Amino acid sequence: MEFDIRDKSTYSITTMRIMKGIAASSGIVIGKVFLYATQSLKAPRYIISDGDITQESIRFKDALSRAKEDLFALKKKTERDHVGKDLDILDTHIMMIQDPDFEDKILDGIESRLMNAECIIEDTIQLMISSLEQSQDEYLRERTMDLYDIQSRLLHQLMYIERASLTDISEEVVLVANNLLPSEVLTMNKKFIKGIVLDTGGKTSHTAILARAFEIPAVIGLSSVSQKVANSDMMIVDGNHGKVILRPNRQTIDEYKSFLEQWELHEAEMLSFNDLSARTLDGRRVELKANIEIPEEVESSVSHGAEGVGLYRSEFLFMRPGEHASEDEQFHEYSRVMKGMKDHGPVTIRTIDVGGDKMIPGLEDFDEENPILGWRAVRFCLSRPDIFKIQLRAMFRASVYGKLRIMFPMISGIEELDQVIEIVEEVKRECRRDGIAFDDRIELGSMIEVPSAALIADIIAKKVDFLSIGTNDLIQYTIAVDRGNEKIAYLYEPLHPGVLRMVKMIIDKGHEAGVPVGMCGEMAADPFYTVVLLGLGLDEFSMSPAAIPEVKRIIRSVSMDDAKALVSVIIGMDSYHDINSYVRNWMNERFEVFNYE
C-alpha cells in the first residue's frame, strides 16, 4: 500500500509498539488499520406460557429457514467469486444448521423449559462449546468458532438485526479485530484487505486456514491488539515471524519497505520453481507433496507446485457437533480433494486420527490418565469398526476420481497392521458385493511415529506400499518430551542423535524392503533440515504448501554426494548442540538465508 510518510496522521502519533503473536499466514504488509468491532449479541431471556410453545417453535423454525437460505446464498456467491476454491467451511455450517438433532434440541428446550428461542439457542450452543473447549486438542478447540458463527446467525435472524459486513471495504487496509467468524472471512472484500491481525485464534483455526488459502498475511493470538489501535493507525504486519508493529516510526517503515521488496523478490523467485522437479545437481529425484487439513488448501497446494498430497488429515469431518460425518458427506469431501489434485499427483488420506487428546464430540465419556499413550488413532479405529468402515468405504468411492493412497496412523506393531488390512479387504469385498466402483490398486501405507514401529520398520514395510515418518510424535516419543509443554520445549530437538539414527534406520529398512519412505512431520517443512534428510535417503517430503518452493530450491542446489557427506559427519556426533551448530554453519556457507531479523 502506498502512503506518504510525511503525513504525521499515519505514523508516530504515540510511541511505536511491537507485539508478538502467532504467524498464521506468511507475507509482509504495511498499511492503515481498519478496526472491525463486531456486535456481540446477547440473547434476551424470558419465560413463555404453555400456550406460547407453538408460536415460539414456529418463530425458531422461520429463523432457521432464513439462516439456511442465507448460507446457501453465501455459498453460491463464494463459488461464483472464488472459482476453484473448495469453500468447505460453508458446507460444514450448512450441515450443522441442517442437523435434525440440533433442531430437536432447541424445540425440546422451548417446550421443557418454557423459555424463548434465543435463550434456548444460546444455552444449547454454549454447552456444545464448553464440551469442545475442554479438549486438549487445539484443532478441536478452535472449531468452537463455527458454533459461534451459527449462534450469531440465528440470533440475528430472530432479533431482526442486520449482520455487520466486510464486503463494502473499498480501500486497502489491514483488518484488525478481536476475532473473525469463518463466514466473515469468506464474505470480506479480499481485494482490499491486505492483512489480518486478531486478538484470538490459532494456526489451525478456520480463519488462519482461510488466510493462508487466500494468501493474506496474518498474525493472530495477540490478546489485546484491537484495544490498542484506532482506525487509520499505521501498522506493519509480518506474517513470517508473527510480529505486528503499531504506529511504526520512519526508520522502521523504511526498513520494512526494504524487507517487503526483498520478500516480494524472494516469493517471485520461489514461485519460479513451481514447474521444476525436485532434483539434486547430480540427478537424484525426490517428491514434494502438501499437508492439508481441508479442501480449501488444494488450490494453494497446486499453486505452490505440490506433486500430490502426502497427508490429508481427515479429522475435521469428525469434529463438528452432532452426528459423525456420514458416508456420503465424507465421500463428497474426499472427492473434492481427489478431483482438485487429479492432474497433480496422488492424494494420501490419513485415516481418522482421534482419541486421546483429540476428542470427537459425543465420545468424551471415558477418562484416561495418559491420553497421549492411550485410546487414539488406529487403536480407536480398531475398537470402533463401525466408524472406521464407513470412512474406508467413502474413501474407496472417491478413489475413482484420481490416485488415492490410504495411510494408517500410530501403528505400533504388526498385529495392528494385520487387523487394519483385514478390515480394508473386508470393505473391498462389501463394495464389490454392492456394485460400488473403486480403484482396486489403492496403495496402503503405515505411519512410523512410534519407536516400536521404527524398530520393526523392515517387517512393516513388507506388508505395505509405502512408509511415512511422522516426526511430530516420533520425536516426542523417542526423547520422552511433551512437545506441548513449554517448560521442556528445549528438549524437543529434531537433530538429537537418537532421532537422527532412528530416522536413518527407518529409511534404510524401508529401502531394503523395496518401499519408498516419506516424511509428513514438521521436520520435512523446515529448510534447515532439507539437506540432512536428503543425505539420510528420504524419498518424499510432505509439508504445508507454502513451504514447498523453498525446500525445492535447496534440493536443486545441492548434490547427493554433498548431502551424504554432511550426514556422515553429523551421524557420529554425540551432542545435538554440536550437530545443530555444524549444520547451521554448513547451510550458511552455501545458501543465502532469507531472514531479516
Residues annotated catalytic, as ranges: 206, 520
State the Cα–Cα distance between residues 539 and 439, nearest whole angstrom.
Answer: 24
**Three-state DSSP class for residue 385:** helix
Do 186 and 89 meet the contact criterion of CB atoms below 8 Å apart? yes
Q: What is the DSSP string of 15-84?
A: --EEEE-EEEE--EEEEEEEEE----------B--GGGHHHHHHHHHHHHHHHHHHHHHHHHHHHHHSTT
Do 276 and 45 meet the contact criterion of CB atoms below 8 Å apart? no
| Amino acid occupying residue 70 | D
**For residue 524, what are the contacts with CB-CB under 8 A and spacing of at least 6?**
471, 518, 533, 538, 541, 542, 543, 551
Between the alpha carbon of residue 47 and those of residues 3, 20, 63, 107, 118, the distances in Å are 56, 47, 19, 15, 11
Q: Which three cell numbers stand for residue 545?
A: 504448501
Choose among 519, 518, 449: nearest CA to 483. 449
Q: How far apart are the first and last CA of the chain?
A: 22
Strand order in the sheet with 173-177: 17-20, 243-246, 234-238, 28-36, 173-177, 193-198, 218-220, 22-25
Q: Which three cell numbers stand for residue 57?
A: 417453535
Strands 173-177 and 443-448: unpaired
What torsion do the CA atoms of 388, 392, 394, 399 make, to the nearest 10 degrees? 160
Q: Which three cell numbers stand for residue 20?
A: 508478538
| Element spanning 337, H or E | helix 327-340
Q: Which three cell numbers stand for residue 122?
A: 444460546
